Amino acid sequence: MQMSLTLINSRASEITVALCDIEVRLAPGEQRKQMVGMPEGPWLPVRLHAGGSSAELQIRRGSRAGHEADYPVANFANIYQHVELGNGGSPVAMTLNIGTAFSSKHWMGQLDLDEDATLAALTLPGSHDTATWKGSRASKCQTFDIRNQLNHGIRWFDLRLAVDGSDLKVWHGSEEQGLCLAKDLLPAITGFLAAHPTEIVIVSVVNVSWDWDKKDFDGLLHKILMAGVPAGRLYDRNAVPRIADVRGCVVLMRQDEDATYGILADHWPDDEKGVVWNDTGNIRYSVQNCYKFGPDYLAAKWALVKHQLDCAKTAADGECWYVNYTSASRAPITDPVDIALAPEQQGINYRLHAYLCAQAVPSYFGLVPMDFPEQPAGLIKLLISMNKLKH
């Protein structure tokens, strides 16, 4: 059986790949596409060699829509696989992107950037409506709890919080999520940072309190952060910090209008794309945040996500912090999971994985908040791999 094979070397050094009776030597950043004869059976043997390191592995070709995998190989490479299936369910095309090996738990310690680089210079995986893993199908945007998200490399959290006595409770729309900032979320974040001091966690907060409680939000948030974050480990100024200055820190971002501290993002577009200024912090954002669609919602949402990816990569909106929400819903017709993980590789997460798998890194894509980002396997690591990483 013949199949179109694309090999991409995203590493900073030459690599040799042997599979399907061919051996290909790829320079850094090189892509090679050719037709190959596939062996019988579900497994594809692959041999890698780079410098003094080599490894052999078996890649499962997959016979179902959406089969993708993330393979760390012998501590010197990650392989990202995207399979396109024909009408009969057999693979007709495969992309293998071979990149730098890294750990999802402390990938920020492997960044190879200028010491003056800020958080806005990163391709940063985020979770939309982060703390909704306990919610109903309509409100649920995540499966992983906050510890799992941290361990898998998510570094930007979207928290919709309301005053609830002495704590701030998580809500998504009209549904409370049974989780609170001080009691449930902050201990997990600070515990992770204590164990992984090279990392940085951005906590983006929205005040969704009832009107009579809104005025109490600012003071209560400050009190919780002061009590729950170790001294010197909270960044709450209205300026995008240098990465070197905030390692091991909780970085506070505010999307609520009455905020008086934190990186202000209170005028981000709602259900649209736009470029906005935070005047007091001298921060320029380019944001795609469209989430209401008609019947052709998957194609329409992906077109906007892809356009913003291309804008970030080419700096089409100039020097900005680029933000690209992959999330959407058509409640009560469809729920977030239907858009993120629709079958037959039509969901936004699968399309994003295919787009990233075709890139030679490093490529800048900014902040990307996602629903259910652990699916398909390798999506979060692919986003991380778009950064320049040390070998």
Which tokens belong to 41? 């059976």
Residue ending a domain, choose from 84, 99, 114: 99
Judge whether 391 lies within some domain: no
What does the DSSP assignment read for 254-311? E-STT--SSEE-TT--SSSEEEEEETTTTEEEEEE------TTHHHHHHHHHHHHHHH
Judge whether 210 lies within some domain: yes
What backbone phi and psi angles, to 5 degrees, belong to 320? -140, 165
pLDDT band at 71 (very low <50, low <70, confident <90, very high): confident
The CATH number that applies at residue 289 is 3.20.20.190
Range of the domain at 28: 2-99
Measured distance CA(229)–CA(248) in Å, rounded: 11
Q: What's residue 65's pLDDT?
A: 40
Higher pLDDT, 302 or 361: 302
Q: What's residue 48's pLDDT?
A: 94
| Structural domain count, the chain | 2
8 and 111 inside one domain: no
Measured distance CA(385)–CA(29) in Å, rounded: 13
Taking residues 273-294, report their average pLDDT: 93
Measured distance CA(92)–CA(35) in Å, rounded: 10
pLDDT > 70: what percent of the chain? 97
Residues in the chain: 391
pLDDT band at 69 (very low <50, low <70, confident <90, very high): low
Cis peptide leading into 362, omega within 30 of 0?
Answer: yes
> 53-67, 165-179, 324-338 — which is least confidently predicted?
53-67
Tell me whether residue 209 is exposed, middle or buried, using C-beta atoms within 10 angstroms of its C-beta: 0 to 12, 13 to 18, 19 or more: buried
The two beta strands, 77-85 and 68-73, are: antiparallel
Is 205 in contact with 217 (CB distance < 8 Å)?
Answer: no
Is 211 in contact with 200 (CB distance < 8 Å)?
Answer: no
Which tokens belong to 159? 């928290």
53 and 178 inside one domain: no
**Tens-place pLDDT, residues 120-140:** 999 999 999 999 999 999 999
Sign of the Cα torsion 29, 383, 55, 20 reads negative
What backbone phi and psi angles, to 5 degrees, belong to 280? -70, -30
**Tens-place pLDDT, residues 132-162:** 999 999 999 999 999 999 999 999 999 999 9
91 and 165 inside one domain: no
Cis peptide leading into 72, omega within 30 of 0?
Answer: no
pLDDT band at 63 (very low <50, low <70, confident <90, very high): very low
Measured distance CA(347)–CA(119) in Å, rounded: 29
Q: What's residue 62's pLDDT?
A: 59
Judge whether 199 lies within some domain: yes
Is 69 in contact with 39 (CB distance < 8 Å)?
Answer: no
Taking residues 230-257, report their average pLDDT: 96
86 and 110 inside one domain: no
> How far is the CA of 361 from the CAs of 121, 273, 313, in angstroms?
14, 26, 11
151 and 82 inside one domain: no
Q: Quick check: 301 pLDDT over 60?
A: yes
173 and 312 inside one domain: yes
Judge whether 390 lies within some domain: no
Of 178, 192, 107, the closest CA to residue 380 belongs to: 107
76 and 142 inside one domain: no
